[in-house]
Amino acid sequence: MIINQYIVLILMYIGINIILATSLNLINGYMGEFSVGHAGFMLTGAYVSSLITVLLVPDQLLIWAFPLAIIAGGLAAALLGLIVAIPSFKTRGDYLAIVTFAFNMIVKSAVENIDTVGGARGFLGMDRLTNPFWVIFWTIICLYVIRNFVYSKFGRGALAIRSDETVAELMSVNTREVKIWAFVISSFFAGVAGGLLAHLIQYISPSMFDIVKSTDILVMVYLGGVASLAGSILGATIFTVLLEILRPLQMWRMVIMPLILIFLMLYRPKGIMGLKEFIYFIPRRERL
Amino acid sequence: MIYFCQQLLNALQLGSLYALIALGYTMVYGILTMINFAHGDFFMIGAFVCFLLVTFFQLPFVPILLLSMLGVSLLGVTVERIAYRPLRQAPRLSAIITALGVGIFLENLTLAISPYPKYVPEVLPNIIWNIYGVTFSLLQSLTIGLAIILMLILNYIVQNTSIGIAMRAVSWDKNIVPLMGVSVNRIISITFALGSALGGAAGVMYALAYPMIDPYMGVMVGWKAFIGAVIGGIGDIRGAMLGGIILGAVEIFSTSILPSSYRDFVSFSLLLLLLLVRPQGIFGRARSEKL
């Protein structure tokens, strides 16, 4: 029984990580930007949803309010995503990496200084509302939305931006609109994942969501392969499972993980899936 | 006024450390147009080498500094040779991801070897001078002096020696330079050696000034130095020096006005504002893309 619970817990982590990896893949993979502040959106979602369930909602309504709180956390993160999207109109590549990194640090530092939510000590008091149903539910919603986004007008625009932004604009892609939507959707799901994680481990602190966490998500994305939903699913799963399997090695497992990433980049630089997609994610009329 | 001068001195100390690290970022970027995200961890390794040399060999200051610089520059060259060189022709992003991977590897390797933060014993005698009420220590003046000397040496190498000319040529056009009989690989190795040595020196000075060292110390410092390099205009050596010092000044002065927990908040917000006003950095040339 204990082993089963353990496996269920790992499966829930995998689900949350899939949400994180696919949503980051939208910006870093499909649109070819380099965002390194994904944990900042997670933090926003985690805190907003936790504040709602702990402070606003009476206990007997918690089960009903939980999905709404998660959505509220996602929306709050999406709002920040909108703000981050604005500098991305002009800056690309390294400069956007700095903007997103600075964003991550600003959010973390701001929460550390708000004493009413616990500051640097963190925030607790959430019930364990995240269960396998909600994780699976949100994972499917996330995959569905992002898959449809990718094969919509906007998704093609994002692919065009990755190839060449100037040419995309010449081909009448509204690059600003595409970027805004990509950032909003991506950050929304990062916020959702943050909310789910907060109600799973029942404790959040700003230092959980710093640049190290963002790097973990980056590793998942590039391990699985950019611009591929199947890649993100694989990357998140392998990352989570491998860390658990290697647990007997204690600290050394954290040494092996980056080594795998380095060797993958050296011998298969496009990641495991390498721009390929699982056939059922591709719309029927486009399958070859 | 005295208070201001004192803070200015502190700002110069921290800023010159950032500047030394930022130089490593900017040199590698100038030559490879690649962000070496592992550079902050080179800096951390420098601090740990310093710790090893002090605790186990009880060496005096100068050999510690030289050996740490040597060790870190060997590390830099090795990392370049093993991890970055095979990816020279690959898309830029793979190289950046590999750099991230190398950084995490170095952090976690150090963590696995030494799980607890380490305390670096004092190496320098604690001499403090007092001039018109402004106190400054031997360590502070050494840090600032060392940074200035290293930057002058670097400037001399880049501007006046044949290696420096080759470096500038490689950063100008990587494809033409081999036709002139210059080994690009050698120049890139030398660049990594120089940049990492500066990072190692910064690591030693940092470990002496803030003696609690841990494997993740390079992450934040590295990112901040990188931001300093970007503020100055990445790829530009003078820019990295100025950007690092600006960053140090912003941090020190924001902590002297606000509670110290606001430091990151203020400095990063200011940096974002600066980037909005001048996205290419202070010395950076606005690149117009050729179509």
| Shortest Cα distance, chain A CAs vs residue B32, angstroms | 13
CATH number at residue B20: 1.10.3470
Helix, strand and coil content of chain B, in percent to the nearest 5, comes to 75, 5, 20
Burial of A10 (0-12, 13-18, 19+ CB in 10 A): middle
CB contact under 8 A, B279 and A90: yes
In a domain, B288, yes or no: no
Nearest to B291 among A166, A219, A258 (CB): A166
Alpha-carbon distance A78 to A93, whole Å?
A: 21
Question: Does the predicted interface ipTM exceed a cut of 0.90?
Answer: no
Helix residue spans in B131-262 (DSSP H): 138-160, 162-172, 184-209, 217-232, 237-257
Residue position matching structure tokens 């530092």? A109
Chain B interface disruption, residue of A266, A268, A270, A272, most B CBs within 10 A: A266
| Shortest Cα distance, chain A CAs vs residue B128, angstroms | 34
Nearest to A269 among B91, B227, B265 (CB): B91
What is the CB-side half-sphere exposure of residue A72 using CA atoms within 13 A? 13
Which residues pair with residue B119 across a beta bridge?
A: B212
Task: Give the pLDDT confidence of B152-206 residue by residue, as tens digits.
Answer: 999 899 889 999 999 888 888 888 888 888 888 999 999 999 999 999 999 999 9
Tokens of B149: 């000397």
CB contact under 8 A, A98 and B227: yes
pLDDT classification of B94: cutoffs 50, 70, 90:
confident
Q: Which residues of B touch A215 (CB under 8 A)?
A: 100, 104
Task: Give the pLDDT confidence of B196-249 residue by residue, as tens digits.
Answer: 999 999 999 999 988 889 888 888 888 888 888 888 887 788 888 888 998 899
Q: Which residues of A touch B219 (CB under 8 A)?
A: 211-212
Chain A residues 161-220 with CB within 8 Å of chain B = 166, 211-212, 215, 218-219
pLDDT at A39 over 90: yes
**Coil, strand or helix: which one is B282?**
coil
CB contact under 8 A, B93 and A34: yes
CB proximity list for B124: less than 8 A, separation 6 or greater: B61, B138, B139, B142, B208
Determine the pLDDT at residue A2.
Answer: 65
Nearest to B268 among A102, A166, A215 (CB): A102
Nearest to A254 among B108, B262, B263 (CB): B108
CB proximity list for B145: less than 8 A, separation 6 or greater: none
CA nearest to A214 within chain B:
B100
| Shortest Cα distance, chain B CAs vs residue A65, angstroms | 33
What share of chain A in percent tops pLDDT 70?
Answer: 98
In a domain, B282, yes or no: no
Average pLDDT of chain B, as a whole number: 86
Q: How many other CB atoms are there within 10 angstroms of residue A162's CB atom?
A: 17
CB proximity list for A286: less than 8 A, separation 6 or greater: A151
**Coil, strand or helix: which one is B128?**
strand
The answer to whether residues A99 and B272 touch, using CB atoms and an 8 Å cutoff, is: yes
Average pLDDT of chain A, as a whole number: 88
The answer to whether residues A22 and A188 touch, using CB atoms and an 8 Å cutoff, is: no
Alpha-carbon distance A126 to A69, whole Å?
A: 12
Q: Which residues of A touch B101 (CB under 8 A)?
A: 219, 258-259, 261-262, 265
Which segments of A85-214 are extended strands (E)?
Answer: 123-124, 203-204
Alpha-carbon distance B4 to A184, whole Å?
A: 44
Residue position matching structure tokens 């290696």? B163
The answer to whether residues B213 and B193 touch, using CB atoms and an 8 Å cutoff, is: no
The helix (run of H) or strand (run of E) holding residue A208 is none
**Chain B touched by A95 (CB under 8 Å):** yes
CB contact under 8 A, B275 and A109: no
CB contact under 8 A, B104 and A257: yes
**Chain B touched by A8 (CB under 8 Å):** no
The Cα-based distances of B2 to A72, A261, B7, B10, B212 in angstroms read 51, 52, 9, 12, 29
Domain boundaries, chain A: 2-210
**Coil, strand or helix: which one is B136?**
strand
Alpha-carbon distance B193 to B28, whole Å?
A: 10
**Domain count of the fold of chain B:** 1
CB contact under 8 A, B262 and A166: no
Domain of B168 in residue numbering reads as 2-277
CB proximity list for A86: less than 8 A, separation 6 or greater: none
**Chain B touched by A272 (CB under 8 Å):** no
What share of chain B in percent tops pLDDT 70?
Answer: 97
CA nearest to B100 within chain A:
A215
| φ, ψ for residue A123, nearest 5 deg | -135, 130
The single-letter code of the amino acid at B12 is: L
| Shortest Cα distance, chain B CAs vs residue A214, angstroms | 11
More confident: B94 or A113: A113
* Through-space distance between the first and last CA atoms of chain B, rounded to whole angstroms: 54
Helix, strand and coil content of chain A, in percent to the nearest 5, comes to 80, 0, 20
Determine the pLDDT at residue B48.
Answer: 93
How many Cβ contacts (< 8 angstroms) between chains A and B?
Answer: 120
Q: Which residues of B touch A222 (CB under 8 A)?
A: 93, 97
Q: Which residues of A touch B103 (CB under 8 A)?
A: 258
pLDDT at A161 over 70: yes
Q: Give just the sign of the alpha carbon dihedral B88, B89, B92, B94.
A: negative
The helix (run of H) or strand (run of E) holding residue A29 is none
pLDDT classification of A187: cutoffs 50, 70, 90:
very high
